[in-house]
Structure 1
Amino acid sequence: MRRKLIAALAVAALAVAGCAGPQNTGTGASGSSALNIYLYQEPAGLFGPLAPSSGPDNQVMSLLHEGLLGVDPDYELQPRLAESYEVSPDARTFTFKLREGLKWSDGKPFTSKDVLFTYKLLADPRSTSATAGNYTAVEGVADFVAGKADEISGFSAPDDTTFVMKAAAPNFGLAALVGTAAIVPEHVLGDVPVESVAENEYFRAPKVTVGPYTFVEYRTNQYVHVTANPEYRSPAKIKDVFLKPMTSDAATAQLGNGGIDIASYSPTDLETVGGFGNVSTQEKPGAGFVRIALNQSKPYFSDVRVRQAFLYAVDREQIVKTVLAGKGEVRLSDFDKDDAPEGLETYAADPDKAKQLLTQAGWDFNRTVNLQWVQGQRDRDATVTIVQNQLAAVGVKVKLVNIQAAQISKTYDEKSYDMTLYGGGNYAVDASSVNYITACALRYPAGGNINFFCDPQLDDLMARANATTDEAERKSLYSQAALRENSQADLFWLYSPFGLWGVNDRVQGFEAPGSQDAGFWDPASWSIAG
């Protein structure tokens, strides 16, 4: 049976060989071969901080760009472009000291003016920044957006290596919320009108970067090619990296035959990957989760009983056991497991209760709702079918709609979708990050609340928790917020998958992220043996 599976995977690999881009050829910084990395989806091709978050685009960006801070494999904030940072005792002033001598890939000096330019751009809704809502807590942003001020008083660059950010009110989590934003070059984009900057070619071909790599080309359905930035503070040890979108089956096959060096893979392929003699597995609990957003701008999803019914209808434990082979956990809340209190409703599978709640809510059992997802990841492909079947068992008709990653944001813009399955996020760094996907003020496009959920009571608890530096009080308030959010079923939580990464033994220094859609950590330190 195992031989048949490996043979089938080999066929899948051959099927994409014609469009997979370069194999392990080419010379690296020390005579090394090029590195080939699997991308779990086709990128949208917007490699900058203005666009809505996209897992594959973010993975490409993690090689090209850097922020003041980064999140390490243990989910801790670490200085990157900043050498250090301080938070004032009242949690209102954040002072970042930049590394000295940094340069852009074109040799121009990197200074705090680039940071000031980027943060102002990201805070300005006219730029179509998908994260503009994150900056509303900064002093002066409200007046700037309202046209009452030309500058943002809460941003300043007192010298070339210092950037200061001030919050309008105590905001302990602000550094975690915005500190990782990718910084872009003022000398390239500074003269572009803010209303049209998002359309600038730079974001599709960022050839001037401050990260370890710079952009070469993107060939749709083939690869994204990046090359080492010679001006990076610690030049990358591998010259060329190719990031290749393909199905998970094809990626696993190419992992076995050497066409791919680094790939996330499905738990159902554990035995197969274990049989590859030159591949090691790195496993890590994830900081995000896979979920289904129910579009609450549509009246039939605005009733909390409907959202609760959907959770009761689906046996998520079964999904973890069968689809993930136990390599994951059922998710009960947006909050990370370490931040979640006892007493959360588990919504264990109970079809009878699901039917009862749907009836009480007046659900129209003749209605058909669409569930959209991007096909190609084995766990998600299997999950949508299970969800469809188990919702059907309680009388909910679901039509599955396969959609391209680049089309998803349009359905958010138009509020046209019913349900969408997606994953990712990092909610382990600081509990305040949950606000980005729950806050009324951060409903898309102002933020990541793509399901258009709104609960002022939850917003109040989150704001109070984030306003105090007292650790015990923060924990208590976030526990209350988690209980509230869990009871409101803002999202159709599914599971937190463990990150499973197959790494060719010739690759040294790679540290696996917690999920297939997370950015990569410190790629400049990777090397290839031999």
Structure 2
Amino acid sequence: MRRIVSLSLLLLLVTALVACGGPPADESTPTSTSTADANTGPPLETTVTSVAVASPSAVASAEASAPASTATTQPTLAPKPTTNILTVKLRPGLKWSDGSPLTAQDLAGTYDLYWATQNGSWDFLNDVSAVDEQTVEFQLTTPSLSGLRLLLRTYAPAPRAQYAKWMDQARTLRQQNRDPERNAVKQLVDDLYNFKPEQALVYGPYQIDLDSITEAQLQLVKNPSGYNADKVGFERLIVYQGETTASVPLMLAGQLDYSTHGYTPSDLAAFAQLPNVQIIRGPNGTGPGLWFNQSVTPLNRTEVRQAFAYIIDRQENARVALGDAAQPIQKLAGFPDAAVDQWLSPEAAARLNSYPKDLAKAEALLTGIGFTKDASGAWLDEQNNPLAFEISVPADFADWLGAAENAAQQLTAFGIATTVRGYQSAERADIQKEGRYQILMDLSTYYIPPYPFASYRYMLDAPRNAPTGGVDGDTGMNWSWDQTTPDGQAVNVVELIDGAATGLDL
């Protein structure tokens, strides 16, 4: 059997520095080396049968159908405006693994649960309802490419046979316009999360063999009645748990048939010597860069961050991290170079600073704010404190670790003492949210879905950047959302991101 190592062409952005001057123009990194997804295949006929302005009668009907609360008066939320209706039809003949049909009630009920758990899809929704057994209507608050992608491609329906109790409770609370932050909804969610079904009902070609689950692996067995099951040639799949470093010995031992990790040049050289292994390099549009914690002085100074951009040779950094598989970002727009011409006008693209390596410019920026060098060549701030920083990086992301170590070496050679602290990627979300870093190696182009605002939202919005205080008061990167453009215009970054996500204009 030919084994395949699919290596994404990462866009190494080691100096696509987040918060590097004015406003720059959710986990998940794969953690298993697998050959399939348990829910392969869309359940929807992803055709938009209606995207039109909702009539007043349609809105009135939806409001009239909400049952009145019989309990004491509860705080409610202001109603959202409804402007569009998206009608979606399920593919006929879909079945759950217990033989029951997959219906519109499954899908609509799933979105009631998403409302209770405050899923991001409800940023775009006012209501969801099952019209008949195979038709679901989504009332959209604002037309959005992101919203359409979330609704049509991202989320999988849950089986009503197992979750009807919570679906019905969530729908009742939602129709009463209850606040998801209040106790009634929180109690529902706690009860939901405590539910442990004895078996997983699926509609795709595979289902998890629950008895096979260990810390190291799990197995997927074929679901004969699942969508596309007749087109799947494997009866059983083994999915290994682990990041790049865990998958390398499995690949070398011939135990993996398919893997999509970001392997180092030395790993790829070893794989190339194995029989029946094909290495495929494809575009990815996603890659890491440096995040600066604005709570750390002097990283909160624009000139310091810009100096970093001029110091680091991105071509060298990309080569060290992934060899020929990586390409350094050139335009530093905050999203992949290949998409710049699609999303920016020629005039806007021409104004981008590409920050080519230029040590003289870096030195001028630092001396311009009163920084100096001592006799040994080490940089000092205006208070004569040495510039010394730490880059935090997931140690089990081999390519990111290599990029971080190379960036630290280049900065140290320039006179800014820089070390690397590795941590396990399981801590990543907490480290981002809590701002437990000075400089963080993390995604700086995030092109999933493939729109610029996805990258901006990932880096610059809560919870990773919450300057006004997010969950538990955490500020993350702590870069202010209130910024001033080079021409003196005051802008709010979150409003710009939200605006970029609005509309269906491609």
TM-score normalised to structure 2 length: 0.65
Partner residue of 1:23?
Answer: none
Matches within 5 A, 1:353-392: 353-358=361-366, 360=369, 365-366=385-386, 368-392=388-412
Instruction: After TM superposition, give the deviation of residue 292 of structure 1 in Å.
Output: 3.2
Distance 1:422 1:375 in 2: 12
Partner residue of 2:122?
Answer: 135
Contact 1:176 1:433 survives alignment (8 Å): no
Distance 1:114 1:181, change over 3 A: same
Point out where structure 1 has 5 or more consecutive residues left out of the alignment: 1-31, 41-51, 71-79, 140-153, 472-530
1:99 aligns with 2:91: yes
* Deviation readout 1:197-225 (Å, 9 max, x if unpaired): 6744659x9733333322234322x2232
* Deviation readout 1:63-86 (Å, 9 max, x if unpaired): 1236xxx8xxxxxxxxx1111221
Distance 2:292 2:423 in 1: 16
Q: Secondary structure at the match of 1:219?
A: coil
Partner residue of 1:409?
Answer: 429
Instruction: After TM superposition, give the deviation of residue 318 of structure 1 in Å.
Output: 0.9
Distance 2:113 2:32 in 1: 19
Matches within 5 A, 1:141-220: 154-179=127-152, 180-191=154-165, 193-196=187-190, 199-200=193-194, 207-216=200-209, 217-220=212-215
Q: Secondary structure at the match of 2:129?
A: strand
Q: Secondary structure at the match of 1:173?
A: helix
Distance 1:468 1:81 in 2: 25
Identical amino acids, percent of aligned pairs: 22
Instruction: After TM superposition, give the deviation of residue 335 of structure 1 in Å.
Output: 1.9
- Worse-superposed segment, 429-438 or 193-202: 193-202
Distance 1:82 1:246, change over 3 A: closer
Contact 1:372 1:402 survives alignment (8 Å): yes
* Deviation readout 1:162-206 (Å, 9 max, x if unpaired): 222232233243212453123333433444554326744659x97
Partner residue of 1:65?
Answer: 39
* Deviation readout 1:414-452 (Å, 9 max, x if unpaired): 3323333234843463344335315546656989x9645
Distance 2:321 2:437 in 1: 26
Contact 2:222 2:236 survives alignment (8 Å): yes
Q: Secondary structure at the match of 1:64?
A: coil
TM-score normalised to structure 1 length: 0.63
Matches within 5 A, 1:300-449: 300-331=298-329, 332-341=332-341, 342-343=349-350, 344-358=352-366, 360=369, 365-366=385-386, 368-423=388-443, 425-427=446-448, 429-438=450-459, 440=461, 443=464
Point out where structure 2 has 5 or more consecutive residues left out of the alignment: 9-25, 54-82, 167-186, 342-348, 372-380, 483-490
Partner residue of 1:144?
Answer: none
Distance 1:410 1:198 in 2: 24
Q: Secondary structure at the match of 2:291?
A: strand
Contact 2:44 2:91 survives alignment (8 Å): yes
* Deviation readout 1:504-523 (Å, 9 max, x if unpaired): xxxxxxxxxxxxxxxxxxxx
Distance 1:416 1:270, change over 3 A: closer
Distance 2:370 2:124 in 1: 37
* Deviation readout 1:85-132 (Å, 9 max, x if unpaired): 2162679332221112222233343222232233333344xx3x5xx3
Aligned CA-pair RMSD: 4.0
Distance 1:442 1:468 in 2: 24
Q: Secondary structure at the match of 1:318?
A: helix
Partner residue of 1:261?
Answer: 257
Residue 213 of structure 1 aligns to which amino acid in structure 2?
Y
Instruction: After TM superposition, give the deviation of residue 387 of structure 1 in Å.
Output: 1.6
Distance 1:326 1:432, change over 3 A: same
Distance 1:121 1:450, change over 3 A: farther
Match of 1:243 among 221, 239, 242: 239
Q: Secondary structure at the match of 1:175?
A: helix
Q: Secondary structure at the match of 1:169?
A: coil
Distance 1:36 1:107 in 2: 35
Instruction: After TM superposition, give the deviation of residue 404 of structure 1 in Å.
Output: 1.7
Distance 1:457 1:401, change over 3 A: same
- Worse-superposed segment, 371-380 or 246-255: 246-255
Partner residue of 1:505?
Answer: none
Match of 1:88 among 30, 33, 51: 51
Distance 2:325 2:370 in 1: 35
Residue 43 of structure 2 aligns to which amino acid in structure 1?
L
Contact 2:204 2:226 survives alignment (8 Å): yes
1:225 aligns with 2:219: yes
